[in-house]
Structure 1
Amino acid sequence: MGLYHLDEVRQAAVQKIRKRVIENIGRNMDLYGISISTGHLYGLLFFADKPMNLDEMGQEMRMSKTSMSTGVRTLLDYKMVNKVWEKGSRKDLYEVEYDWYQTFADYFDIKWRKSVESNILVLRKALEEIEKLMKEHEDDEELHAVLQADRAKMREAEAYYRWLDRLIDTFVDGDIFKLVPKEPPEDHS
């Protein structure tokens, strides 16, 4: 049963609770590099009784269709919402991805993997340049000492990024949940 089947007093009480949660989701979305308004949009979809289109979201949030579209696109890119099809509807509909574990794993893979790959590439190129410079200046002991120290630091960083890449793999393939099992929802009934 949806919220709109309740009388005004009960609707207002439920809306107050939801608003508090939505506000908090919005504030915490900066962790994901997502704006507060897009976080609020996620919160709206989280509590929606059915998939919503951009017009419905804009009406509910009092935002422009362009802002809604940008926010939804961001949430789609991070796999935090899904586009759904509904018979008889000509407009795109969206619903939140309720599996927060999967959402986090997808985000971790999307954002962190790109960073890890970029850092590994830069470090490998820098290590190649160090080797080349050391060969070109074989007799320069002072330069070799500096380059050897830099090479050791870079190899340490590269080892860290290879480890981080393996950590990301544990999220993607679900092995992380063998080490840190998912929490079952508490039943307070």
Structure 2
Amino acid sequence: MGVEEAKRIVMKSFANTARRFGQSELLGYIYGALFFSDEPLSLAEIAEITGYSLSHVSSAMKVLEGVGLVQRVKKPGDRKAYFVATKSFGEWRSAAFYSRLLRDVEETRENLLRALKELEGEEEKDAERIREKLEKALRRNETARKLLAFLMRFRDEEELLKALERCLEG
């Protein structure tokens, strides 16, 4: 019973994390099923393990793929799609998740700059208040860009953890 209970505890934890982020707990259960599996799983296998319908699992899988937490794989000679959990930082990083985040950060920066340009020449109090908010958002945006660039420099989590420890100690 120990192994199954340990799996249940972790899968429930993943489900609770998904819920805290405003997502369906199914995302956590699917990730847990894939996390513990030694082999890629099909949608039908995931539905059986989680107890959710195939259509719910299929919809949830699109979300998990979109954020890079699972990857679709093919088995030779089999037309079905199979899935594996992204288990390491390097896999997650290479799943294009960071590229999408960087694109979003850059797009946000461009829009903030466009909004600031619209305020040029405006002298009213409301314009100044909005300008200050936009400038603060630009500073946060730059911090996010630097953080993502820093994270993308590392190939594996051990290297990243060592760099983070050095930053925290210094």
TM-score range, shorter chain: 0.7 to 0.9
Mark the CA change 1:104 to 1:16 in structure 2 (over 3 Å): closer, same or farther: farther
* Alignment partner, residue 159 of structure 1: 139
Tell me the matched-pair count: 160
Please identify, of 148-157 and 92-101, the stretch whose mean Cα deviation from structure 2 is larger: 148-157
* Alignment partner, residue 171 of structure 1: 151
The answer on whether the counterparts of 2:12 and 2:29 sit within 8 Å (CA) in structure 1 is: yes
Q: Displacement of 1:173 after TM fit?
A: 2.7
* Alignment partner, residue 46 of structure 2: 57
Q: Which has the larger radius of gyration?
A: 1
**Partners in 1 of 2:71 and 2:133 — Cα distance?**
43
Mark the CA change 1:39 to 1:129 in structure 2 (over 3 Å): closer, same or farther: same
Mark the CA change 1:21 to 1:101 in structure 2 (over 3 Å): closer, same or farther: farther
* Alignment partner, residue 180 of structure 1: 164
The answer on whether the counterparts of 1:51 and 1:95 sit within 8 Å (CA) in structure 2 is: yes
Q: Which runs of no fewer than 5 residues in structure 2 stay unpaired?
A: 166-170
Question: 2:84 matched to 1:95?
Answer: yes
Identity %: 22
* Alignment partner, residue 78 of structure 1: 67
Over the residues paired in the alignment, what is the CA RMSD in angstroms?
A: 2.9
Q: Displacement of 1:28 after TM fit?
A: 0.9
State TM-score, norm by structure 1.
0.70
Q: Displacement of 1:66 after TM fit?
A: 0.8
